[in-house]
Amino acid sequence: MLLSNTAEGGGNGATVSLDNSGGNSGNAWDGVVIPANTTLAYSIVQAMHGTMSYHFTSSAAASNFLRWDSQITGSPLTLYTRVYCYFTGTVPTTSRFMQFNDSSATLICGVGINGSDQFVIRDTSTTIVGTSSTVAPANQWFRIELMVFSNATTGQATLNIYTTPDSTIPAETLTVTSQNLLGNPIAQAVFGNPTAVSGYDLYMDDIAVQDSGFVGPAITSTPISWTGNP
């Protein structure tokens, strides 16, 4: 199973919907949540690859996010995700900007930012169980790759942080073991602002989920093989 979405299928400034989120973007979203005081639109202002990304904003404490659920098949206990992020201005102190849930939307594991702008891993009770040394960049693209094994006593999560977004060498790898990561199959992958943070200004691009290992960068450089003088 591989799900991926590049945000290339919409029109600049168009509000994201279930109907316009597939096509050239890839796998359409199963859920798009945009309540009052939030926006979620295609934008050409920032793009990691291609011409567009998803732009999340909030002017009050309300959640707006994208979600895959019905397309996550096989009831996996282990799942991997990749997402490119760009926070405009000050990186918000938030509980989570990416998370895995079970079928009842109960949190299994999530990734967020703490008060010192470090990356944190949160368990099913939202307790911080791992904190990075790396500070989340503002006004700069970065990539995270997350592996989660859902188990109530031996749950494990590994977070690879790439401050050079298309690098194959992480700036830091943060691993936590023997954690309470619920134990139910992973049924939802959620991206954006699921924890109702006000003052959000986040772009996301090239989002992917799979069950067969870390996804890797969306674009990698290929060495040029010279066959003669230029």
Whether residue 69 lies inside any domain: the answer is yes
Written as one string, the DSSP assignment of 50-101 is SS-EEEEEESSS--EEEEE-TT--S--SEEEEEEEEEE-SSPP-EEEEEEEE
Whether residue 155 lies inside any domain: the answer is yes
Whether residue 79 lies inside any domain: the answer is yes
Q: What is the pLDDT of residues 1-10, one digit of tens each?
A: 999 999 999 9
Whether residue 47 lies inside any domain: the answer is yes
Q: What is the pLDDT of residues 160-217, one digit of tens each?
A: 999 999 999 999 999 999 999 999 999 999 999 999 999 999 999 999 999 999 999 9
Prediction pTM value? 0.93
Q: Which two tokens stand for residue 124?
A: 């099913």
Whether residue 216 lies inside any domain: the answer is no
Whether residue 224 lies inside any domain: the answer is no
Q: Write the Ramachandran bin of 124: left for phi over 0, alpha for psi from -120 to 50, otherwise beta.
A: alpha
Range of the domain at 135: 2-210
More confident call, 44 vs 222: 44
Whether residue 226 lies inside any domain: the answer is no
Whether residue 108 lies inside any domain: the answer is yes
What are φ and ψ of residue 227, in 5° steps? -110, 0
Q: How many domains in the chain? A: 1
CATH classification at residue 48: 2.60.120.200
